[in-house]
A and B are shown apart, each in its own frame.
Chain A
Amino acid sequence: MASIWSYANPKKFIDTTDRVLPVLSVLALAALVGGLVWGFFFTPDDYKQGSTVKIIYLHVPAALMAINAWMMMLVASVVWIIRRHHVSALAARAAAPVGAMMTVIALATGAIWGQPMWGTWWEWDPRLTSFLILFLFYLGYMALWSAIEDDDTAADLTGILCLVGSVFALLSRYAVNFWNQGLHQGASLSLDKEENVADVFYYPLLLCIAGFVLLFVALVFLRTQTEIRARRMRALLARERLND
């Protein structure tokens, strides 16, 4: 069996993802449409929250992916720093805007949900605050990528920033717990806990989460391909200028 590192070859990566992408996109679309339609039209209203509970089908998957996107960037950065595979660095770069967008979706849907339920758009609650901080980290990461011209230097610096930022993001997550008491409920999707959301909401939610994961993977593949091709084009242009 071929090792996973063989996909570090840009050519192989593009070939494989080209074949996988259509399937992934169709699956993501199907899961998202299926999950959202199921969730919005075929589940009962919550007895306390009424129909506003249905925003959960966007809010929870987006929040999950916002964190997991950063985790993926962390892993990709470590792979780049240790093994110097360019595809890895480019994948981390490609994931950042997607992750940032997921954070915005989670924050925005949370505000829309919080207005009728808590009576406020925004509260300095630990979970909300740490998400805002995560968003700032995404912004800084993307700004650093775009500020540096040399590709390898940029990849190195952002990689280290991602490592250091992860530690500090985690620190902030627990520091804000210390700083303010929460309004947001605790985790309600853990696999090992007694108290979870009811099954009627759970299954469409799972489908939506699967849809968001697939969507994320598809977008990252697509954006990484774009990055690889853009870099290849720059290399070709440079070669042209050399030959002139």
Chain B
Amino acid sequence: MRALLIRDLRLAVRAGGGFGLGLAFFLIVVVLIPFAVGPQSALLARIAAGVLWIGALLACLLSLDRLFALDWDDGSLDLLATAPLPMEAIVSIKALAHWLTTALPLVVIAPVLAVLLNLPAAGYWPLVLSLLLGTPALSVIGTFGAALTVGLKRGGLLMSLLVLPLYVPTLIFGAEAARRGAEGMAYGTPLIFLAGITCGTIALLPFASAAVLRVNLR
């Protein structure tokens, strides 16, 4: 398991720049928002938490189709499937690798981008906390979407259509926690709901992803 994780991390960092791409995308989304809604800092401060959440979510989505596609193309996915490791473990490791290489950098860079969007000082901790708790769910759900569409030639667009509705609960609670924090309200409740969703998806969704992957490898 550890070998697989290290291999996936190496591939993500070294091969083809998938690593920085998500971050760059996140940055560009955040830079484009003021052009679209205007430079008034009061308005930006109000929408900052939501924009950062949407940006992080889209950046996660963008990198999902690389999750299984490369292994599928060169056949290493078949090798992994015949390995003694259960499919559920493989899927979980893939999700973990995706989270470490894509989502965690987003969480780290989010406070920096929040400065650009004039996020109120009270909002930084809630933003980071909610992203930290919420992004694992995004990775795990995304793994399910990637496993569904792995065999398709142009699965990327279809995967967005499948994955985005599944992101709704996570986004609602995550963005709500960040928004409440930015407005100086108590943000414990949505944060707890968010943590619940994350724990639930981590516990259950790998089984669905593994089942889907087995069907696709048949």
Contacts and interface: CB of A to CB of B under 8 A. Distances in A.
Interface of A: 133, 136-137, 139-140, 143-144, 147-148, 153, 156-157, 160-161, 163-165, 168-169, 171-172, 175-176, 178-179
Nearest to B163: A140
Interface of B: 144, 148-149, 151-152, 155, 158, 161-162, 164-166, 168-169, 172-173, 176, 190, 193, 197, 205, 208, 211-212, 215-216, 218
B215 A156 contact: yes
A143 B218 CA distance: 21
Nearest to A158: B148
25 contacts: A133-B165, A136-B161, A136-B165, A140-B161, A143-B161, A144-B149, A147-B152, A147-B158, A148-B151, A153-B218, A156-B215, A157-B216, A160-B208, A160-B211, A160-B215, A165-B166, A168-B165, A171-B169, A172-B169, A175-B172, A175-B193, A176-B172, A178-B172, A178-B193, A179-B172
Contact of B205 (A148, A164, A175): A164
A169 B205 CA distance: 15
B158 A163 contact: no
Nearest to B215: A156
A146 to B, nearest CB: 9
Contacts of B158: 143-144, 147
A179 B162 contact: no
B162 A161 contact: yes
B102 to A, nearest CB: 21
A136 B176 contact: no
Nearest to B154: A147
Contacts of B173: 175, 178
Nearest to B167: A168
Contacts of B208: 160, 163-164
Nearest to A142: B161
Contacts of B212: 156-157, 160
A147 B212 CA distance: 15
Contact of B168 (A133, A143, A153): A133
A175 B152 CA distance: 32
Contacts of B168: 133, 168, 171-172, 175-176
